[in-house]
Amino acid sequence: MNIKDIKGKILRFWRSDNEKISLIRDIFVALMAVLIVLLLLWTYTGQWFAAPMVAIESGSMEHDDSPFGRFGTIDAGDMVLVQKVYTKGDLVTHGGNFGGASEKEDPNNFFYGDWGDVVIYKPLGREDVSQIIHRLMCWVDVNTDGEETTYTIAEYGIFNETSIHISELGLRNNKPSWAHSGYLTKGDNNNVIDQMSDICPEPLKLSWISGKARLEIPWLGTINLFFEDLMNGKNTVSNVHEDSLICLGIVIVILVSIPIILDVKDYLREKKNRLP
């Protein structure tokens, strides 16, 4: 079979009016479209053959001053892309007056309403619990010499202290029992860092971080939450705000209306052509 014969078969397949062939063609086109989108997402995020995005379940990253529709911040029902990180150099902390994104107020490091990267991580590196999406606040060096443990957080001007006082992080002369150095994280809507709660009682190791959040796809994650709630008996959809649900409803109506309008348009055109 030569190239000309192959080209002819492809053209006949593509132009056929046979219902079965049309159905196969439509399925093929849909699968190719999905594959192209996945390839683009995997290329951008580096999460090859893994989920390139996550749906937001809780309101821990919300901002009180968010506009209607909650653009620009991470809210329950949103989806974000998860861009893979490889080294500490891939990450920027929020920081304080002595380092981090907030010190220089670099617009290139302003994400979701505040300074510094927002990361998706596995608490204590565990695979059997839900991942957390919170902001990197700073890096802490934990040094133990005998029975004494000291802490260094350079971004906040703290060096070899036996206790930590940083009001912004909910630390007030605390003496944590951290076993190793790592990142401290906090939800924008929370008052205290995760490492002083049950969320993740140890500083983050780089290996625990699945990636950093990039872009925001508002509202559509609500659909994912709905099906997860059905399968797992949870009620995360209740965390989605009313304005987000309204916006999602409008998007669904528009998407459903487009094919209906096109079908009606084709019907009217055919009816007009049949008129004498």
Among 74-78, 80-84, 243-247, 259-263, which is the least confidently predicted range? 259-263
Q: What does the alpha-carbon distance between residue 230 and residue 63 come to, in Å, rounded to a whole number?
A: 28
pLDDT of 206 strictly over 80 = yes
**Residue % of the chain over a pLDDT of 90:** 66
The SS3 call for residue 186 is: strand
Are 77 and 223 in contact by the 8 Å Cβ rule? The answer is: no
Angle between the N-to-C axes of helices 242-274 and 221-232, in degrees from 0 to 180, rounded to the nearest 10: 110
In this prediction, residues 222-230 reach a mean pLDDT of 92
Reported confidence tier of residue 49, pLDDT bands at 50, 70, 90 = confident
In this prediction, residues 209-232 reach a mean pLDDT of 93
Q: What does the alpha-carbon distance between residue 210 and residue 76 come to, in Å, rounded to a whole number?
A: 19
Query: Looking at residue 267, what is its pLDDT?
Result: 66
Query: Looking at residue 274, what is its pLDDT?
Result: 67
Query: Looking at residue 48, what is its pLDDT?
Result: 86
Pairwise pLDDT comparison (18 vs 190), residue with the higher score: 190
DSSP string, 62-87: --TT--TT-TTS--TT-EEEEE---S
Q: Which residues lie closer than 8 Å to 97 by C-beta, 6 or more apart?
A: 103, 156, 157
Among 59-63, 92-96, 224-228, 257-261, which is the least confidently predicted range? 257-261
Q: What does the alpha-carbon distance between residue 170 and residue 189 come to, in Å, rounded to a whole number?
A: 12
**Interior CA angle at 100 toward 151 and 73, to 5°?**
115
- Only one residue has tokens 């150099």, namely 89
Pairwise pLDDT comparison (177 vs 19), residue with the higher score: 177
pLDDT digits (tens, 9 = 90+) for 143-200: 998 889 999 999 999 999 999 999 999 999 999 999 999 999 999 999 999 999 999 9
Pairwise pLDDT comparison (130 vs 26), residue with the higher score: 130
The SS3 call for residue 202 is: coil
R_g (Cα) of the chain, nearest Å: 25
In this prediction, residues 206-217 reach a mean pLDDT of 95
Q: 149-160: string of b/e by CB count within 10 Å (b at 16+)? A: bbbbbbbbebee
